[in-house]
Structure 1
């Protein structure tokens, strides 16, 4: 599996909804960028409780979903530019159903590994000025995902994003997201045990799933 990255994007925290801060407004970087264990140099998170850290170093949201969002929203100016969903990697041709937890991708000289789906929050709706987006993401599983950085390195727009190793086969990002967040796909205890056993799923998520099993 291989696709071309059309942009690498970064942003800094800015005021948002009064006292809130967010770095969801990301813009394309003009040249080569270094991808570190904490993410792309020049990119920051505002809410360090729910975002950032080694398991959420780099965010990828498929450009493939933009047309569906454009139709659902009735058009939106933000969809005409990259990183409307606060993603670091802008690319077409790879979606949540195509990739699994633990899949490794080479981007430039960096090596990335899929660690978890992205959980949608109210900031997406505030960013677009439209209610109902979180519910649509939960229903359609078009959530995007995070990478951890296995090997730091440099990359830039135009580089290939190529899968070089398959992770937990059968556990696509879409399937894991559904099990975690979609009430219509509430997992049975046996499925929860399988999820907890996924070594390359982020530790905090595995801990939450283990707690669900205990209850």
Structure 2
């Protein structure tokens, strides 16, 4: 079992970069002390700057493995706007649809993260979002099945694993590979526990035979 090392939340605030207008973003988060209420829409006091692409019930909570920061030294947990940092849970051993008890809440893995250019602003480097995507170390989101209190020190206790053949690494590879993985797309589109937006993406690829253009998401115009 993994333990919440640090719990992060933060208000949306202007994210600046030389030569670009400020944008509102919730990527800058601060460690939380004590228990925090987790609702169907996320942690109390946590905000997103762009509610069209960030936050909401299918992305109520973002979890990033502390081990993944080895790719980003000397950066430390919390840098990427995640809500939860742990050791022991990674894209290799967390599966889509996993249901966990954490504190008094119950959560379910709903999708992976699709990094965007706000991460580039945050780190002041043009390739940060692309590097995260290419590494496959994106972290994952939860939907909340039962609201409750969570806090640093709480354990993630696995309740159910409905998709034992689908670790997040496999799903992330299916989404971000530049190869045409039609068999993987077809299977992924049928995963009922996967967020509707990701299922729609896989279904659209099956119809078009093409992978969508990621440029606008990964690079700021």
On whether the aligned pair clears a TM of 0.5, the verdict is yes
Distance in 2 between residues matched to 1:14 and 1:140, nearest whole Å: 28
Quote the offset at 1:163 in angstroms.
1.6
Q: Does 2:66 match 1:48?
A: no
CA distances 1:147-178 after superposition (whole Å, capped 9, x unpaired):
00011111111111122211312111111111
Within a 5 Å distance, the mapping from 1:197-212 to structure 2 comes to 197-212=190-205
Q: With structure 2 as the length reference, what TM-score do the two structures score?
A: 0.88
SS in 2 for 1:123: helix
Matched positions, count: 204
- Give 1:204 shift: 1.4
* Cα distance change on mapping 1:131 and 1:19 into 2, 3 Å: closer
User: Within 1, Cα distance between the matches of 2:162 and 2:25?
Assistant: 31
User: 2:12, 2:49 within 8 Å by CA — same for their partners in 1?
Assistant: yes
Gaps of 5+ in 2: 209-221
TM-score when normalising by structure 1: 0.90
Kept after mapping to 1: 8 A contact 2:134/2:176: no
Structure 1: distance between partners of 2:148 and 2:160 = 18
Runs of at least 4 residues of structure 1 off by over 3 A? Answer: none
Q: Distance in 1 between matches of 2:180 and 2:8?
A: 34
The residue aligned with 1:39 is: 42
Match of 2:120 in 1: 125
Choose the corresponding residue for 2:141, options 134, 139, 146. 146
Question: Which residue in the other structure is 2:10 paired with?
Answer: 11
- Structure 1 residues 104-113 or 134-143, which shifts more? 134-143
Distance 1:96 1:167 in 2: 16
Q: Is the Cα–Cα contact under 8 Å of residues 65 and 87 in structure 2 kept in the other structure? A: yes
1:169 is aligned to 2:164: yes
- Structure 1 CA distance, aligned partners of 2:177 and 2:120? 18
Partner residue, 1:69: 72
Q: Which runs of 5+ in 1 are unaligned?
A: none
Cα drift, residue 186 of structure 1: 3.3
Q: Could you say which residue in structure 1 is the equivalent of 2:106?
A: 111
> What's the offset of the Cα at 1:6?
1.2
Displacement after TM superposition at 1:136 (Å) = 2.1
Residue equivalent to 2:215: none
Q: 2:26 aligns with which of 13, 23, 42?
A: 23
Rounded to whole Å, the distance in 1 between the matches of 2:155 and 2:174 is 31
Cα distance, 1:132 vs. partner?
2.2
Distance (Å, rounded) in 1 between the aligned partners of 2:205 and 2:80: 29
Secondary structure of the equivalent of 1:135? Answer: helix
- How far did 1:133 drift? 2.1
Matched with 1:196 is: 189
